[in-house]
Amino acid sequence: MLKRFIVMTFALLVAFSGLAVAADKGGRLTIVEPVKEYGEVPKGETLDWSFVIKNTGDADLRIISVKPGCGCTVVEFSKVIKAGEGGMVTAHVDTSSFAGPISKTVTIATSDPQMPTAVLTIHATVKPFVEAYPVGFVRFNVLQGEANSQSLTIYSYEEEPFEVTKVDVPGDWVKADVKKIEDPAQRAQAGRTNQNQYKLAITVVGSDAKIGPQRATAALYDVTRSTQ
């Protein structure tokens, strides 16, 4: 009876060992650089990056789906990666609508049972060509029939000089006046040294404005850049 028990136990160990060997076979996902750090980039620059994916298994690795997060577009990706070979997932981010730190992700689903999903990330800090001091917005609280004015300083850290040649406002109830700052004492303690700075004065005319909360945008134009 003792010998029979030992033989049966040995047979079970062999069976489980065979299952373990079979489970090791298949495609294995390895991402060379799951996070791409761009650092500071100018607003409007397009970020294109190809994430390198390797199959470190012994069978085909299938990319089942690739889903970009908000603000990111997947240009192309490798659908099947042979054992020992590499593939790509190329992501595209248009920074025109962003400012400040951004983090854009791509989620991939694969046939790797140990890593069925993985996240690829693009980090960047989007810097506009021009910025405003002390902040990039102004708030008004006016009564109908009254007017109120506030001013901002427009500056830049870029080497390329800029000229504010035109300011578009959303309607007759908003007035804008822009003047180049000539007196060094009036410059904001911001931006690149010897770069142009401008004083932008915005006036809300209460008699022409609609009653209630309003949200509007003033657009600044630089002819030196738009003609390039």
pLDDT at 122 over 70: yes
CA neighbours within 13 Å on the CB side: how many for 21? 6
Strands (E), the chain: 29-31, 35-42, 46-55, 61-68, 73-77, 80-81, 86-94, 100-110, 117-127, 131-133, 147-155, 164-168, 174-180, 198-205, 219-222
Q: DSSP code of 203?
A: E
pLDDT of residue 227: 38
Range 171-186 average pLDDT: 89
Residue 44 in tokens: 């409007």
Give the tens place of pLDDT for each residue, 30-81: 999 999 999 989 888 899 999 999 999 999 999 999 999 998 999 999 999 9
133 Cβ contact partners less than 8 Å away, ≥ 6 residues apart: 152, 153, 154, 155, 188, 190
pLDDT band at 130 (very low <50, low <70, confident <90, very high): confident
> Of 53, 49, 54, 31, which is closest to residue 104 (Cα–Cα)?
49
pLDDT band at 136 (very low <50, low <70, confident <90, very high): confident
Q: DSSP code of 93?
A: E
In the chain, what are the domains? 26-127 (2.60.40.10), 131-226 (2.60.40)
Single pTM value for the model: 0.59
d(CA 208, CA 158): 38
Helix (H) or strand (E) holding 21: helix 2-23
d(CA 67, CA 46): 19
